[in-house]
């Protein structure tokens, strides 16, 4: 087990190196002029401006030099200040957000993490529960209803569903609002009287003893959570149902029945834990997806997470920010894969010991 | 558990049902305001009441502020914040684009007889947001700092010309007139120190503060007609020297200015902070997310009625629409494609009258016809009739301050090594065009007559645009409502093609027995940047009309990614293009400069003699200070531009803006960057 | 030969197991798979009854239906004189202690997430026959009994070979000291060398604990080795049932004859002398089985009557039952 984790950990730097090479390679698809042009508003009044920028950013240097500069940084000849590369957390400057990409990620990611934490439970647990019910009542009414629900869920575009939720629960009923927090609470949170212990708003609200802020934050997260859960329920339902049906046909389940185990125990002790392995994989991917930012949901509900920032960077051709997000997502993916693999080893003895 | 499942299914079904009828729901109707109130008088109560009257929320598709440094900001998004946080010496008088009132100057400046020296009396007792008292030195420092910071992506070229001379569009030209130092701080710093100091001293000598007398004197290189419009914009903002230095800005020394030259917003320490004298202080700066301004209690005038202005970035239109419906946003970005959704909920509207150059009276809406164009969609209420009670206020029909112009390239770049991909064979053989195709005036005129303006105005802009007859806009010297202009006339178009002589044998194409453009035809590509549907449609309209005149005339439309489009334009490879411009200041110089001697003139490869003719007119025009005389000078430019068909001015779109009905005190001046919040209040 | 005083432990009477087929949006029943379609036989205490047939003939379903893992469509199953079909809930659960099952696939029949000790000990826990330390001890005993090292108790199934896993399955089946075990093709997934070991183990245990086996297989030779009596099944129906030697030496039903002719004999001379009966055609669908005799569509000697009426399952000589019109 320990060697397994160590082996996986040793792989992380290799994977990260691969990711940086890949992302840097993507950057090379743009010519120096194109890369500079992205920084130029309208276009320069003098052609020499672009050449100046190309020189300033070192786009005229050999690719390996550029890669090295990008990776570890360089020394500014005029000011003598050392500018770190991505290894020192310098992901470049986002034109669309007018701030360093690392700062942007640092500010947006806690919100995404907060949303992820509150979404995971309803998304996964309810999805699994529905899938188990559908499988247990195979071909019965519940199964049929679940299948209809699942088809509707998969075919409903997030975008449409999200706007629908807004229309009903916000514009008409005024129950839930888009955004992160009500304006009045926003000012409290921004003030010095509010301590940011974790950067996660809901937890900070509780730690500050502000239950009202906690509730307000949840009220703003409700619709995103519902939307994210709804579109994922369909997938979880289908995977769980399929996996459960398969497991229920396994002979050890029949054996369990044959030995006189009550049906409840047959399902929840023998079938479900084994059926959960593919679901665990799915859950891993889903959580990675949530952590990487959910572009559409965050955008529709104006939730200031990493997804809405990425969406904005993409729509405004902010290549630097996009690469930063890609790098960050690669990092999350690698870490999350590691966690899922380790978890897998915990729940599946076959993985643990082989 | 089963119950929960049923509940969820019901929810889905219910949500679908609601979606079908949700679009038409409105706020509870309320009685409207007085429909016959005087134009511009916004004090009449609307009868609509905001839940929170002290906080104004603006839902914008983008709260992306490039920089809050007034010397560097050159986009309207940044400008809107700066305009409400910082202040200038003079400011626009209400919604007029050509009248000014003193702001940080206590009175309008005195101008010397030759028009080169402006003396400003600086208002005393004005405080910056950090409590520092503003001095004339701060004013002088602010202008000096801006000029020396320069850089081609900043607005400073608008100030360098009056202070350093016509054509000097960056401070680096004082160090190297050849222009080798543009935007290159490293190279500039390596220049001769004496030259550097001299450039700085020249700048300091042009702007002199006298703290004792409370004045600032500015000496221009030559008289400059549009000087007040130039300094009334955000780049004329006054900063606190002490604060700038504290925050790592230029210390005012002539030995160090080069270290701050060509600042990019990423390097600028003042990009994300602000300390002005304006009615609002910057309270929260979460760029790309939210910006909060709060009322400045120590403002030199009566503090604003609004306590807080919140700019929220809400990229998705549906979300902004919901916020407007819910009353949580007072103002919102409405894309033109989504206007009809808002139009349906408009309860009161004002139509701009181009003849009087003002908005007409507020009118309650009693009828709405979504098939009509522009303001004709709405039927005003007759006397005694009660309006529909719609929750939004609409202001419609004011021409904006940008224009599209159809441009041709007189000498298209092509060579053996890099053949131009947009001109086919590069010869007059029916399968391409020669590089000098557009140097023939008749060809250019023919293109002007072959453009169907009505299709552009009505189909592309749904009637919410007017044809522009000349480069100057209404309300500036040089604008004449009845000036000669091109109209859609296929017969004239044909006649002009037949007058062309592209094989240069001295015989017009219509009579040329050896054949010329009329008999050989041509093929050319008109590129647009992908996603710009207006430019795409302009190209398509032109292609369709030319083909209808002669089936041998082939214009192919081609969408290019923005960098490729930019690169081809820079390389002067594009034979035909749509050039758009949004003015920096409301003055004809700001139009003719880019379109003739400046940027676009270059892109069009205008010959030197043509440029020289315009340069002569422009130099006279810009250094004249009498508006009547200026009008006559720019009339010359209009005539020359029309006769040579240098470009075909296409359209100026008209405004179509919404707000909540309870929002009052809105200043509708198109030259302002976004809104000016000081006079606004909510009922 | 059989003696009449042997006690009958299991009596199956006209057992039917039809699986409904649903189609369409409203899931209407459009038909049924006639997996088991009216079979009767009995099993005597201490014996091994072999149940053979091609795959899909319903032999596994028979085993599972007897153990009430499926609710039978019709018929009765008397175990120790009690009709299992009429039992429900706790009563049935109590009866399960006495009847267990061993499966074909040693990989699928063990829960991969449970250790050997948990797997083998679970029946004890379920029926509260032992607690804590007792279970542990009992598991050790059982593992020893089936020839596994008790030290392996804390390991997981995937660490064992197929034969070892099957031993674990046997140990689990034995945990509650049942009297009757359905062995559902327990060796067909194993290597030939291992098959014999497992069969020997089953035989040893039978002797030691006086176990009764219903041994389901498609392999006639292994059934011959272990069974006392053998039943031959085809398309949900038992065609012939007789003492092992009787059946192998004097098969009466044409289907049995065809099956036996396909079994290789380890004597090349004898093998060469045999007449091979090759069956033509495919096994008909159990959804829509042939009228009359199920085998008639492939039977070399079928006549008109075979299509008209279903032959009775008759005892043609002592203990030799056959369902064929043509057998006089």
The CA distance from C298 to C258, in Å, is 10
Q: Looking at B300-357, which runs of residues are DSSP E strands?
A: 308-313, 331-332, 346-353
DSSP state of B125: S
Query: Within an 8 Å CB–CB cutoff, is residue A141 touching chain C?
Result: no
Task: Write phi, then psi, for B37 (nearest 5 degrees).
Answer: -75, 160
pLDDT value at position A96?
75
Average pLDDT over residues C135-153: 89
**CATH architecture of the domain formed by A99-353:** Orthogonal Bundle (1.10)
d(CA C159, CA A350) in angstroms, rounded, equals 8
Predicted local distance difference test score (pLDDT) of residue B324: 94
Mean of the per-residue pLDDT values for chain B? 88
Q: Higher pLDDT residue, A193 or B275?
A: B275
**Average pLDDT across chain A, whole number:** 83
Would the pLDDT of A26 be above 70?
A: yes
Q: Which helix (H) or strand (E) holds B525?
A: strand B522-529
What DSSP designation does B613 have?
Answer: H
Using the predicted structure, report yes or no on whether residue C224 has a pLDDT greater than 90: no
A251 touches chain C (CB under 8 A): yes
In the prediction, which pLDDT does B384 show? 86
Rounded to an integer, the average pLDDT of B489-494 is 95
Residue B14: its pLDDT value, please? Answer: 37
pLDDT value at residue B667: 87
Q: Could you tell me which chain A residue has the CA closest to the CA of C63?
A: A258
With a cut of 0.90, is the ipTM above it? no
Query: Quick one: B86-241 is in which CATH superfamily?
Result: Dipeptide-binding Protein; Domain 1 (3.90.76.10)
Q: Is the pLDDT of residue A79 over 80?
A: no
Give me the mean pLDDT over the B611-619 stretch. Answer: 94
Contact, B365 vs B387, CB < 8 A?
yes
Residue C272: the pLDDT is 64
Percent of chain A scored above 70 by pLDDT? 92
* A144 vs A349, more confident: A144
Q: Which of residues 26-45 of A touch B (CB under 8 A)?
A: 30-31, 33-34, 37-41, 43-45
- Is A55's pLDDT higher than 80? no
What pLDDT, in 10s, does the model give residues B293-327? 999 999 999 999 999 999 998 988 999 999 999 99
- Mean pLDDT, residues B651-661: 93
Partners of residue B1 in chain A, C-beta under 8 Å: 129, 133
Distance, CA of B517 to CA of B522 (rounded, Å): 7
How far B616 CA sits from the closest chain A CA (Å)?
20
B314 to A34: CB separation less than 8 angstroms, yes or no? no
State the fold for domain B402-654: Dipeptide-binding Protein; domain 3 (3.10.105)
A52: which chain B residues are within 8 Å (Cβ-Cβ)?
A: 182-184, 187, 262
What DSSP assignment string belongs to B56-71? EEEEES----S---TT
CB atoms B179 and A46 under 8 Å: yes
**CB contact, 8 Å: A264 with chain C?**
no
d(CA B349, CA B370): 15
Tell me the pLDDT tens digit for each residue of C145-175.
888 888 888 888 888 888 888 889 989 988 8
Beta pairing partners, A296: none
**What is the distance between the alpha carbons of residues B339 and B463, in angstroms, rounded to a whole number?**
13
Q: Span A261-267, mean pLDDT? A: 86
Q: What is the percent of chain B with per-residue pLDDT over 70, rounded to a whole number?
A: 93
Give the three-class secondary structure for B174.
helix
Q: Are B162 and B170 in contact (CB under 8 A)?
A: no
* Range A8-31 average pLDDT: 84
Query: Are A255 and C67 a contacting pair at CB < 8 A?
Result: no
pLDDT at B12 over 50: no
> Which is more confident, A290 or B257?
B257
Which residues, listed in sequence order, are joined to residue B110 by a DSSP beta bridge?
Answer: B119
Q: Residue B674: what pLDDT?
A: 87
Closest CA to B555 of B409, B439, B424: B424
Whether residue A52 and residue B183 make contact (CB cut-off 8 A), yes or no, is: yes
* A129 pLDDT more than 80: yes
In this complex, the residue of B15, B170, B315 whose CB is nearest that of residue A164 is B15
Put simply, the answer to whether B289 touches A304 (Cβ < 8 Å) is yes
Residue pair C240/C231 in contact (Cβ under 8 Å)? The answer is yes
Mean pLDDT, rounded, for C231-244: 90
pLDDT higher at A149 or B576: B576
Q: How far is CA B305 from CA B36, B166, B274, in A?
A: 26, 43, 21
Give me the residues paired with residue B210 across strands: B215
Arithmetic mean of pLDDT over chain C:
85
pLDDT at A11 over 70: yes
Residue C243's beta-bridge partner residues?
Answer: C229
Q: How many CB pairs under 8 A join A and C?
A: 72
User: What's residue B23's pLDDT?
Assistant: 32
pLDDT at B9 over 50: no
Q: What is the pLDDT of residues B439-458, one digit of tens each?
A: 999 999 999 999 999 999 99
Contact C111 A262 (CB under 8 A): no
Does residue C156 belong to the interface with chain A, where contact is any CB pair within 8 Å?
yes
CB contacts of C64 in chain A (<8 Å) are 254
Chain B and chain C touch, per 3+ beta carbon pairs within 8 A: no
Question: Per residue in A157-174, pLDDT tens?
Answer: 888 889 999 989 998 888
> Is A317 in the B-facing interface, judged by CB distances under 8 Å?
yes
Q: Do residues C289 and C280 lie in contact, with contact meaning Cβ atoms separated by under 8 Å?
A: no
Residue B39 has pLDDT above 50, yes or no: no
**Each residue of A80-110: pLDDT tens digit?**
555 777 787 788 777 777 778 888 899 899 9
* For C103, nearest residue in chain A (alpha carbons): A251
Q: Name all chains with 3 or more CB-CB pairs below 8 Å to chain B.
A: A
Q: Which residue from C minimizes the CA distance to A347?
A: C113
Strands B346-353 and B363-368: antiparallel
CA distance C130 to A16: 54
Interface residue A139 vs chain B (CB under 8 A): no
Residue B43: what pLDDT? 52
Please, which residues bridge with residue A73 across strands? Answer: A84
CA distance B406 to B408: 7
Higher-pLDDT residue of B105 and A187 is: B105
C115 Cβ contact list (under 8 Å, min separation 6): C153, C154, C155, C156
Residues 6+ apart with CB under 8 A from B436: B410, B411, B412
Angle, alpha carbons C207-C209-C210 (nearest 5°): 65
Q: Which residues contact B380 (CB under 8 A, 6 or more apart)?
A: B35, B349, B363, B364, B365, B366
Q: Using the beta-carbon criterion (under 8 Å), do B319 and A301 form an inter-chain contact?
A: yes
Domain residue spans of chain A? 2-94, 99-353
Minimum-distance CB partner of B18 among A167, A179, A312: A167
Residue B153: list chain A partners with CB under 8 A: 40-41, 44, 49
Helices (H), B34-124: 76-85
- Position B549 scores a pLDDT of 94
Q: What's the mean pLDDT in B630-645? A: 96
Burial bucket for residue B75 (CB in 10 Å: 0-12, 13-18, 19+):
middle
Q: Where are the domains of chain B?
A: 86-241, 402-654
Q: Do A98 and B271 touch (CB under 8 A)?
A: yes
Q: Is beta strand C180-184 parallel, antiparallel or unpaired with respect to C229-234?
A: unpaired
Looking at chain A from residue 143 to 162, which residues have their Cβ under 8 Å from any Cβ of chain B? 145-146, 148-149, 152, 161
Residues of B in contact with A178 (CB under 8 A): 314, 319, 322-323
Q: Name the residue among B153, B284, B316 with its Cβ closest to that of A190.
A: B284
The beta-carbon neighbor of A171 closest among B259, B292, B322 is B322
SS3 assignment, position B284: strand
Checking if the pLDDT of A334 tops 50, the result is: yes
Say if CB A88 and CB A100 are below 8 A apart: no
**What is the rounded distance in angstroms from the CA atom of residue B71 to the CA atom of residue B80?**
14
Q: Is A247 on the interface with B (CB under 8 A)?
A: no
Q: Residue B397: how many CA atoms within 13 Å on its side-chain side?
A: 20
Mutation target among B274, B322, B324, B332 for the A interface, most CBs of A within 10 A: B322
Reported as a pLDDT band with limits 50, 70 and 90, residue C4 is very low
Q: Is the pLDDT of residue B536 over 70?
A: yes
Q: Does A350 touch chain C (CB under 8 A)?
A: yes
Within C20-81, where are the H helices?
Answer: 59-66
Does residue B6 register a pLDDT over 60?
Answer: no
Kindly list the residues from chain C whose CB atom is less than 8 angstroms away from the CB atom of residue A350: 112, 156, 158
Nearest Cα residue to A114 out of A236, A220, A227, A11: A220
């Amino acid at each position: 087990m320990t060697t397994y984790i160590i082996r996986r950990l040793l792989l992380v730097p290799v994977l990260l190196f691969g990711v940086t090479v890949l992302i840097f390679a993507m950057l090379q698809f743009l010519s120096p002029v194109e890369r500079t042009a992205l920084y130029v508003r309208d276009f320069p009044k003098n052609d020499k401006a672009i050449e100046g920028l190309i020189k300033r950013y070192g786009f005229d240097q050999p690719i390996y030099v550029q890669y090295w500069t990008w990776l570890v940084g360089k020394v500014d000849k005029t000011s003598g200040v050392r500018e770190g590369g991505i290894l020192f957390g310098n992901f470049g400057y986002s034109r669309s957000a007018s701030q360093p990409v690392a700062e942007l990620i640092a500010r947006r990611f806690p919100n995404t993490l907060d949303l992820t934490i509150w979404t995971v439970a309803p998304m996964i647990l309810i999805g699994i529960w529905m899938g188990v019910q559908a499988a247990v009542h195979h071909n019965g009414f519940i199964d049929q209803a679940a299948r209809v629900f699942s088809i509707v869920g998969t075919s409903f575009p997030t975008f449409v569903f999200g706007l629908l939720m807004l229309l009903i629960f916000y514009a008409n009923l005024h129950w839930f609002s888009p955004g992160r927090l009500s304006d009045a609470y926003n000012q409290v949170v921004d003030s010095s009287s509010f301590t940011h212990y974790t950067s996660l708003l809901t937890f900070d609200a509780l730690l500050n003893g502000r239950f009202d802020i906690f509730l307000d934050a949840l009220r703003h997260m409700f619709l995103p959570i519902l939307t994210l859960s709804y579109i994922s329920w369909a997938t979880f339902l289908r995977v769980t149902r399929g996996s459960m049906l398969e497991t229920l046909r396994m002979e050890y389940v029949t054996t369990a029945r044959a030995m006189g185990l009550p049906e409840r125990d047959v399902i929840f002790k023998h079938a479900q834990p084994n059926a959960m392995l593919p679901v665990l994989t799915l859950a891993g991917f889903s959580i990675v997806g949530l952590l990487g930012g959910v572009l559409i949901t965050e955008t529709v509900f104006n939730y200031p997470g990493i997804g809405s920032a990425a969406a904005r960077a993409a729509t405004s051709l902010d290549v630097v920010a996009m690469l930063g997000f890609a790098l960050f997502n690669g990092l999350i993916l690698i870490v999350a894969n590691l966690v899922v693999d380790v978890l897998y080893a915990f729940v599946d003895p076959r993985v643990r010991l082989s | 558990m089963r119950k929960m499942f049923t509940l969820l299914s019901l929810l889905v079904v219910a949500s679908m049902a609601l979606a079908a009828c949700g679009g038409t729901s409105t706020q509870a109707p309320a009685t409207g305001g007085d429909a016959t109130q005087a134009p511009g008088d916004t004090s009449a109560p609307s009868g609509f009441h905001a839940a929170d009257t002290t906080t104004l929320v603006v839902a914008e598709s983008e709260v992306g502020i490039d920089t809050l440094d007034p010397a560097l900001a050159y986009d309207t998004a940044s400008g809107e914040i700066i305009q409400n946080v910082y202040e200038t010496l003079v400011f626009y008088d209400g919604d007029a684009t050509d009248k000014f009132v003193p702001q940080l100057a206590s009175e309008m400046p005195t101008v010397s007889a030759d028009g080169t020296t402006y003396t400003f009396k600086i208002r005393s007792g004005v405080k910056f947001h950090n409590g520092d008292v503003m001095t004339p030195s701060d004013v002088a420092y602010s202008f000096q700092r801006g000029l020396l910071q320069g850089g081609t992506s900043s607005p400073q070229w608008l100030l360098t010309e009056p202070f350093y001379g016509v054509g000097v569009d960056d401070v680096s030209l004082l160090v190297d007139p050849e222009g080798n130092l543009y935007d290159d701080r490293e190279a500039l710093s390596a220049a001769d120190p004496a030259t550097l100091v001299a450039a700085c001293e020249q700048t300091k000598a042009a702007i002199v503060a006298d703290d004792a007398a409370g004045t600032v004197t500015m000496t221009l290189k030559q008289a400059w007609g549009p000087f007040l419009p130039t300094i009334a914009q955000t780049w004329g903002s006054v900063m606190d020297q002490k604060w700038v230095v504290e925050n790592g800005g230029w210390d005012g020394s002539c030995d160090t200015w080069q270290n701050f030259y060509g600042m990019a917003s990423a390097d600028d320490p003042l990009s994300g902070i602000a300390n002005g004298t304006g009615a609002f202080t910057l309270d929260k700066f979460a760029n790309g997310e939210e910006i909060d301004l709060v009322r400045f209690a120590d403002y030199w005038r009566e503090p604003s009625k609004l306590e807080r202005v919140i700019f929220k970035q809400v990229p998705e239109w549906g979300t902004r629409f919901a916020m407007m419906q819910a009353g949580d946003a007072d103002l919102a970005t409405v894309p033109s494609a989504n206007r009809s959704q808002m139009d349906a909920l408009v309860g009161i509207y004002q139509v701009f009258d181009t003849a009087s150059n003002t908005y007409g009276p507020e009118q309650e809406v009693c009828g709405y016809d979504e098939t009509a164009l522009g303001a004709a969609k709405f039927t005003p209420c007759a006397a005694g009739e009660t309006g529909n009670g719609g929750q939004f206020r609409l202001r419609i029909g004011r021409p904006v301050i940008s224009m599209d112009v159809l441009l041709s390239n007189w000498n298209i770049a092509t060579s053996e090594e890099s053949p131009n991909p947009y001109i086919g064979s590069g010869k007059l053989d029916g399968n391409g065009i020669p590089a000098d195709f557009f140097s023939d005036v008749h060809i250019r005129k023919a293109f002007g007559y072959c453009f169907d303006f009505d299709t552009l105005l009505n189909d592309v802009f749904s009637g919410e645009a007017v044809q522009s007859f000349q480069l100057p806009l209404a309300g500036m010297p040089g604008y004449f409502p009845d000036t000669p202009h091109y109209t859609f006339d296929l017969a004239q178009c044909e006649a002009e093609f037949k007058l062309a002589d592209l094989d240069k044998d001295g015989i017009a194409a219509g009579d040329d027995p050896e054949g010329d453009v009329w008999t050989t035809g041509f093929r050319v590509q008109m590129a647009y940047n992908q996603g710009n549907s207006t430019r795409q449609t302009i190209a398509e309209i032109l292609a369709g009309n030319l083909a209808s005149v002669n089936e041998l005339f082939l214009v192919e439309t081609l969408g290019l990614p923005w960098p490729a489009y930019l690169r081809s334009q820079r390389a002067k490879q594009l034979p035909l293009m749509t050039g758009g411009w949004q003015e920096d200041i409301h003055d004809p110089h700001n139009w003719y400069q880019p379109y003739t001697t400046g940027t676009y003139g270059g892109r069009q490869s205008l010959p030197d003699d043509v440029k020289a003719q315009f340069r002569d007119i422009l130099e006279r025009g810009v250094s004249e200070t009498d508006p009547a005389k200026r009008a006559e000078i720019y009339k010359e430019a209009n005539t020359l531009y029309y006769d040579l068909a240098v470009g075909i001015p296409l359209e100026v779109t008209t405004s179509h803006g919404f707000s909540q009905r309870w929002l009052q005190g809105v200043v509708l001046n198109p030259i302002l960057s976004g809104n000016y919040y000081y006079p606004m209040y909510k009922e | 030969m059989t003696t009449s005083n042997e006690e009958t432990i299991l009596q199956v009477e006209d057992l039917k197991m039809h699986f409904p087929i649903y189609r369409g949006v409203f899931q209407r029943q459009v038909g049924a798979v006639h997996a088991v379609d009216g079979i009767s036989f009995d099993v005597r205490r201490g014996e091994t009854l072999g149940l053979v047939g091609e795959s899909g003939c319903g032999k596994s379903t028979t085993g599972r239906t007897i153990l009430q893992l499926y609710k039978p469509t019709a018929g009765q199953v008397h175990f120790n004189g009690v009709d299992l079909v009429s039992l429900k809930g706790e009563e049935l659960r109590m009866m399960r202690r006495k009847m267990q099952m061993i499966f074909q696939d040693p990989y699928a029949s063990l829960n991969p997430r449970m250790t050997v000790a948990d797997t083998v000990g679970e029946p004890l826990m379920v029926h509260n026959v032992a607690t804590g330390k007792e279970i542990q001890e009992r598991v050790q005993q059982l593992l020893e009994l089936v020839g596994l090292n008790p030290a392996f108790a804390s390991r997981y199934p995937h660490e064992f070979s197929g034969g070892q896993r099957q031993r674990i399955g046997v140990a689990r089946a034995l945990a509650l000291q049942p009297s009757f075990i359905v062995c559902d093709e327990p060796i067909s997934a194993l290597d030939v060398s291992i098959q014999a070991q497992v069969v020997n183990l089953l035989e040893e245990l039978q002797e030691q604990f006086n176990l009764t086996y219903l041994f389901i297989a498609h392999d006639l030779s292994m059934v011959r080795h272990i069974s006392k009596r053998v039943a031959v099944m085809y398309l949900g129906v038992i065609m012939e049932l007789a003492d092992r030697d009787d059946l192998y030496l004097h098969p009466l039903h044409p289907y049995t004859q065809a099956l036996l002719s396909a079994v290789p004999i380890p004597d090349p001379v004898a093998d060469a002398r045999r007449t091979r009966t090759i069956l033509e055609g495919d096994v008909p669908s159990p959804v829509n089985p042939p009228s009359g005799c199920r085998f008639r569509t492939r039977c070399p000697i079928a006549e008109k009557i075979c299509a008209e009426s279903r032959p009775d399952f008759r005892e043609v000589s002592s203990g030799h039952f056959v369902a064929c019109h043509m057998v006089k």
